[in-house]
């Protein structure tokens, strides 16, 4: 069941999103060669709790950390570790903030030091995929329009779209209806309506899209060992189009 949000509820979600934006911006200075993702996890937890929020991922279905920290071939749900990040790594940090019972969710990818041209292109195209999907959001549009815009752009650049993980509705719960596929055909699927709030979070691989799972039961990797990148926003469908709640700006 899709839960339509009121303007008041979306305002409450924006407060959570504002804190999420702030922590992502703070991470920009922290993600350097030599830092560990476990150190980043501790930094994020303190940053959020010191400002009256709660890192919603911690404890969710037993997940033990405040962030997902996915490095290089890790697609999503990477566990923070004590292994230092290296020059040229690609890191995706995904987190969910709860303030007053309302949530916001955003993943962002970061270059660790200087990265290769291949990595830069993957990051650029993945971010473009996210925003091409967002451009399709308006009342009366269909979920397939979003997925098709993302898939078309990724594949035109020689990359692939992960099929196993999707965007999702969000509000008081981390995962609500609808599911938002990042591939598909236009003019197919559920029609969007004002008050829907969901994430778009394409995971784009430099190689092929099939995955393999780590023994921890959480972390997904590219089956062929290629790089993977992800960007994610929480957004609300409005009367006139869309508002991106987690937009970072400059």
Q: Return binding residues for a divalent metal cation.
A: 94, 105, 168, 201, 232
Find tokens 């290296």 and name the residue. Answer: 86
d(CA 228, CA 212): 13
Q: Residues annotated in the binding site for substrate, as ranges? A: 77, 175
Contacts of 5 (CB under 8 A, 6+ apart): 13, 171, 195, 196, 197, 236
* Cα first-last separation, the chain: 36
Residues 81, 248: Cα–Cα separation, whole Å: 26
Helix (H, G, I), strand (E, B) or coil at 45: helix
Q: For 188-212, give the DSSP string.
A: -SPBP-TT-EEEE--EEESS---EE
Q: In 3-state terms, the chain is what percent helix, strand and coil (to 5)?
A: 30, 25, 45
Strand partners, 237: 242
Q: Which residues are annotated as a binding site?
A: 77, 94, 105, 168, 175, 201, 232
Host H or E run for residue 130: helix 117-135
Any residues with CB less than 8 A from the CB of 117 and at least 6 apart, and which? none
């Amino acid at each position: 069941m899709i839960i339509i949000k009121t303007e008041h509820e979306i305002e409450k979600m924006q407060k959570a999103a504002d804190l999420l934006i702030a922590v992502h911006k703070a991470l920009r200075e922290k993600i350097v060669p030599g830092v560990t993702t476990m150190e980043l996890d501790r930094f994020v937890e303190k940053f959020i709790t010191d400002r009256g929020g709660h890192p919603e991922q911690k404890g969710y279905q037993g997940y033990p950390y405040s962030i997902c920290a996915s490095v290089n071939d890790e697609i999503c749900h990477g566990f923070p570790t004590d292994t230092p990040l290296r020059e040229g790594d690609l890191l995706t940090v995904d987190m969910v903030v709860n303030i007053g019972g309302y949530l916001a969710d955003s993943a962002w990818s970061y270059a660790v030091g200087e990265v290769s041209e291949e990595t830069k292109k993957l990051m650029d195209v993945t971010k473009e995929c996210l925003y091409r999907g967002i451009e399709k959001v308006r009342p009366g549009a269909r979920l397939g329009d979003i997925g098709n815009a993302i898939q078309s752009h990724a594949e035109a650049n020689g990359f692939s779209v992960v099929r196993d993980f999707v965007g999702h509705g969000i509000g008081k719960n981390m995962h609500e209806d609808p599911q938002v596929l990042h591939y598909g055909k236009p003019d197919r699927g559920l029609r969007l309506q004002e008050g829907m709030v969901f994430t778009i979070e394409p995971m784009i691989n430099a190689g092929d899209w099939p995955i393999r799972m780590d023994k921890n039961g959480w972390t997904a990797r590219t089956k062929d060992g290629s790089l993977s990148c992800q960007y994610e926003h929480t957004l609300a469908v409005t009367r006139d189009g869309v508002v991106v709640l987690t937009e970072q700006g400059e």
